[in-house]
Amino acid sequence: MEIKTMEAALFCSHCREEVNHEITYINNDIKSIRCEQCNKTKQLRVDVNKKFYKEVYDRISSKPTRITQEYKDDLSHLLVSLPVRTVSKPYRLLKDVNASRKILKQYKQKKSRVK
């Protein structure tokens, strides 16, 4: 799970003109849009738990297909890289889980402040 931000020139209903806005995405879904001139923010609902579980499910369920494709594309490369990937996988998985946990924790705190 990842958070991305980008800028776009959008019409602000508060400023009544086209100004720069900061758009925040969680994966590919818009989480918030903030006007950089008046600081008005529009929050959109994103179920981060659902996103997290879907991401994990997609990664796990597609693994056999990805390994099979690698096998068909280049068996020698797969055999050479497999031991290194096997050893490094727990570290890569831990890194991804920690990043996702930070995002989940961040949005749980924001949710509890809003209530």
Mean pLDDT taken over the chain: 85
Q: Does one domain contain both 30 and 69?
A: no
Domain extent at residue 53: 47-115
Q: Does one domain contain both 87 and 40?
A: no
Query: pTM of the entire structure?
Result: 0.59
* Per-position b or e across 1-11, b if 16+ CB within 10 A of its CB: beeeeeeeeee
Per-residue pLDDT reduced to its tens digit, 61-74 = 888 898 899 889 99
Q: Does one domain contain both 60 and 95?
A: yes
* pLDDT tens track, the chain, 115 positions: 778 899 999 999 888 899 999 999 988 888 889 999 999 999 888 787 788 888 888 888 888 898 899 889 998 998 898 888 888 888 888 888 888 888 778 777 665 555 5
Q: Does one domain contain both 102 and 73?
A: yes
Domain count, the chain: 2
Residue 36 in 3-state DSSP?
A: coil
Q: Does one domain contain both 54 and 23?
A: no
Question: C-alpha distances in angstroms, 77 versus 1, 66, 74, 104?
Answer: 28, 14, 6, 36
